[in-house]
Chain A
Amino acid sequence: MKRHVISVLAPDRVGIVKSITTAITNLGGNIDGMSQTVVHGYFTIILTATFNKTLIQDEIREAILAQFDENDASVIVRPFEESLETRCHEEHERYILTITGKDRPGILKTLTTYLYESNINIEDYYFTIQGEHVTHIGEITIPRELDIKQLQGELQTLLSSIDLIATLQHENIFRATSEIYSIRQLLKGKS
């Protein structure tokens, strides 16, 4: 049994996920993790799969590329590192960062530099633009030892200097208002 992490980038079309999952299944793989999105017409997917036989990375890559026209897709295959998944999340808490205001170059550079220097990891990030107005939403993990009030203050100061409004709230408030699990389950970390 061997687990791999696989990433694919290609122009979007109907049936891409079917093509990729067919290739993996035909190789004896079981997909056990996946995230996929489309940005401005470009499809991207990251998934993990465990195969019932030992395969070299190029075998998997070639099987997926065979589902696309020549030079149409980029595929990366790497061995899965178990140590990454087991990295202790008990030392972190998950927060939602929202930023709204007028779009301008450099927002992400300013923000991500601050997050990097504060040892805060971005786990998911997306934004939408309507006219000149931009909304960023980041799902970030913050080390427990950091002072949230101080972070909120610093983020607000940093982003208000470029006319943006930032809020930083623990993810549970969004789960509470949008999911139907009982609050008790939610506080126990179940989903």
Chain B
Amino acid sequence: MRRIDDILNTVRMFEEENLDVRTVTMGINIDECSCENIERTSLSVYKKILSCARDLVSVCNNLTTKYGIPIINKRLAISPASRLLEGRNEADAIHLAHALDRAAADVHVDLIGGFTALVHKGMTDGEALLIRSLPNVLAKTQRLCSSINVGTTKAGMNVDAIRIVSDTILEIAQATKDKNGFGCAKLVVFTNIPEDNPFMAGAFLGAGEASCVINVGVSGPGVVKRAVERLIKDSPDVTLDEIAEEIKHTAFRVTRTGELIGREVATKLGVQFGVLDLSLAPTPKVGDSVGEIYQAMGIEKIGAPGTTAAVALLNDAVKKGGIFASSSVGGLSGAFLPVMEDHALAEAVKNGSLTLEKLEAMTAVCSVGLDMFLLPGDVDASTLCGIIMDEAAIGIANNKTTAVRVIPVPGKKEGEYVDFGGLFGAGTVTNVVSPDGSKAFTQRGGHIPAPINSLKN
């Protein structure tokens, strides 16, 4: 006989606390699809995706019924599309992008990632072409997402690439100005990009992965928040180490649900199970917020001194719970800080307690980086370049993944409100403290060498 409390706790996680499997992402290697012309290449890619992912959505839906767990998104992540663009032109890049978008629509997934270029050390012609095509591609496709890796701890930082990407972000914003620059929400600029991350917009299939693999992303900030609230209600004087312990135990339970789903999806589709990524990924819904967890811990104003420590506590406890739950933990695994997608973070930015600079400090101890942050439409490329370089520096120096997904909103100024709708959420345009203050530095370009790995103080 099971313990009644265990059963009711599990039911409560799904019914009341918004626990869900945020995404089941199928990774597909499309390297074999390169043909002599783009028409045949695109057709080959389309057929490969359909042959691998035709049953993905129906299998996921059946498991939702069986276990009573919502699987919110079913997605695809391909090997870097830039490899199919060597020796091609911009029209070819757009042709391929449309084929990917159509394939995603025809297997009924909501997003497909992997329009990706890995340029941390240098840039091939195909990678340069991919980046150049992004304004057109992201404006003309619905489901396609892109990521660019501009630095690694081993290779250092490709500042020349960051300068190009900064210009490109502004062009994407202009190309999608009728949607408040929404195209930028489909591009993530990474450092130390993970090869098995199932979350969008940054998912792609890395070189070391199997040809077809299932990676699962589980969320559950609501479950963690309620666990912290219950603990504090029962013991008002609870210490931070006891909070960390409670989060760890909760993360264990959440992680296990993800692995259960991932392994069953993989078995039913006859493909390899890859990783389980437990990342506290919020949605704009109240009760599904990472910011609310910090508030439950006692951070009344998110961004106040102590917030970075709260992020570190949460991120570490989530990882520890996940690691004990499963030997297949990978991806990003930790706490996300996507400002627009989290109503508590968005509110903190709106009321001024959370600035971009404080957020940057928080990203040094969270699992990703500056995410879904709205900037004024007139932000200049050198400021964007500086933002990306700072975030990349944090990732490179700390041997962790960092990322930048910022949206310059054409025609909007600091303080104005923008709503993308759905999971992408809403927020307030905010500026950096000192725009235009580092132009001479960022314009030097070049390459920041890899950091020393001894004398670590």
Which residues on A are within 8 Å of B, measured CB to CB?
35, 37, 96, 98, 124, 126, 128, 135, 137, 139, 148-149, 152, 167-170, 172-174, 176-178, 182-184, 186-187
Q: Would B4 and A135 count as touching, CB distance under 8 A?
A: yes
Given contacts A173-B260, A183-B260, A187-B263, contact A152 B6 (CB under 8 A): no
Given contacts A173-B10, A183-B259, A186-B260, contact A139 B2 (CB under 8 A): yes
Q: Shortest beta-carbon distance, A139 to chain B, in Å?
A: 7
Q: Shortest beta-carbon distance, B271 to chain A, in Å?
A: 16
**Which listed residue (A168, A176, A183) contacts B68, Cβ 8 A?**
A168
Q: Would B257 and A174 count as touching, CB distance under 8 A?
A: no
For the complex, give the distance between the alpha carbons of A182 and B7 in Å: 19
**Which listed residue (A37, A135, A168, A176) contacts B259, Cβ 8 A?**
A176
Q: Shortest beta-carbon distance, A191 to chain B, in Å?
A: 12
Q: Shortest beta-carbon distance, B326 to chain A, in Å?
A: 7
Given contacts A98-B11, A135-B8, A137-B4, contact A173 B67 (CB under 8 A): yes
**Which listed residue (B2, B4, B260) contacts A172, Cβ 8 A?**
B260
Given contacts A178-B10, A183-B260, contact A167 B4 (CB under 8 A): no
For the complex, give the distance between the alpha carbons of A96 and B2 in Å: 10
Additional A-B contact list (9), CB under 8 Å, known A98-B8, A135-B8, A167-B11: A98-B11, A124-B1, A128-B4, A137-B2, A152-B65, A173-B68, A173-B257, A176-B259, A187-B260
B3 within 8 A of A: yes
For chain B, give the interface size range.
20 to 34
For the complex, give the distance between the alpha carbons of A183 and B68 in Å: 18
Q: Would A177 and B6 count as touching, CB distance under 8 A?
A: yes
Q: Would A183 and B4 count as touching, CB distance under 8 A?
A: no
Given contacts A148-B65, A169-B67, A169-B68, contact A176 B7 (CB under 8 A): no
Q: Would B257 and A177 count as touching, CB distance under 8 A?
A: yes
Contacts of A135 in B (CB 8 A): 4, 8
Digit string of B6-19 for contact with A (CB within 8 Å is 1, else 0)? Answer: 11111101010000
Q: Shortest beta-carbon distance, A46 to chain B, in Å?
A: 12
For the complex, give the distance between the alpha carbons of A148 and B68 in Å: 11
**Which listed residue (B11, B66, B67, B256) contacts A183, Cβ 8 A?**
B256
For the complex, give the distance between the alpha carbons of A135 and B6 in Å: 13
Contacts of A178 in B (CB 8 A): 2-3, 6-7, 10, 253
Q: Would B10 and A177 count as touching, CB distance under 8 A?
A: yes
Given contacts A173-B257, A177-B256, A177-B257, contact A98 B66 (CB under 8 A): no
B6: nearest chain-A partner, CB-CB: A178
Which residues on B are within 8 Å of A, measured CB to CB?
1-4, 6-11, 13, 15, 65-69, 253, 256-257, 259-260, 263-264, 267, 326-327
For the complex, give the distance between the alpha carbons of A186 and B326 in Å: 12
**Which listed residue (B11, B15, B260) contacts A176, Cβ 8 A?**
B260
Q: Would A96 and B7 count as touching, CB distance under 8 A?
A: yes
Q: Shortest beta-carbon distance, A178 to chain B, in Å?
A: 4
Contacts of A176 in B (CB 8 A): 256-257, 259-260
Q: Would B263 and A149 count as touching, CB distance under 8 A?
A: no
Given contacts A98-B7, A135-B8, A173-B67, contact A126 B260 (CB under 8 A): no
For the complex, give the distance between the alpha carbons of A135 and B65 in Å: 22
A165: nearest chain-B partner, CB-CB: B15
Contacts of A126 in B (CB 8 A): 1, 4
Q: Would B1 and A35 count as touching, CB distance under 8 A?
A: yes
Q: Which interface residue of A37, A148, A174, A177 has the most chain B CB atoms within 10 A?
A: A177
Contacts of B11 in A (CB 8 A): 98, 167, 169
For the complex, give the distance between the alpha carbons of A46 and B256 in Å: 33
Q: Would A174 and B68 count as touching, CB distance under 8 A?
A: no
Q: Shortest beta-carbon distance, A184 to chain B, in Å?
A: 7
Can you list 29 A-B pairs, Cβ within 8 angstroms, ordered by A?
A35-B1, A37-B1, A98-B8, A124-B1, A126-B4, A135-B4, A135-B8, A137-B2, A137-B7, A139-B1, A148-B66, A152-B65, A167-B15, A170-B66, A170-B67, A172-B260, A173-B10, A173-B67, A174-B10, A176-B257, A177-B13, A178-B6, A178-B253, A182-B327, A183-B259, A184-B263, A187-B260, A187-B263, A187-B267
Q: In the A-B complex, list the 6 residue pairs whose CB atoms are closest, starting with the nearest.
A: A169-B68, A178-B6, A176-B256, A177-B253, A183-B259, A176-B260
Q: Shortest beta-carbon distance, B17 to chain A, in Å?
A: 12
Contacts of A187 in B (CB 8 A): 260, 263-264, 267
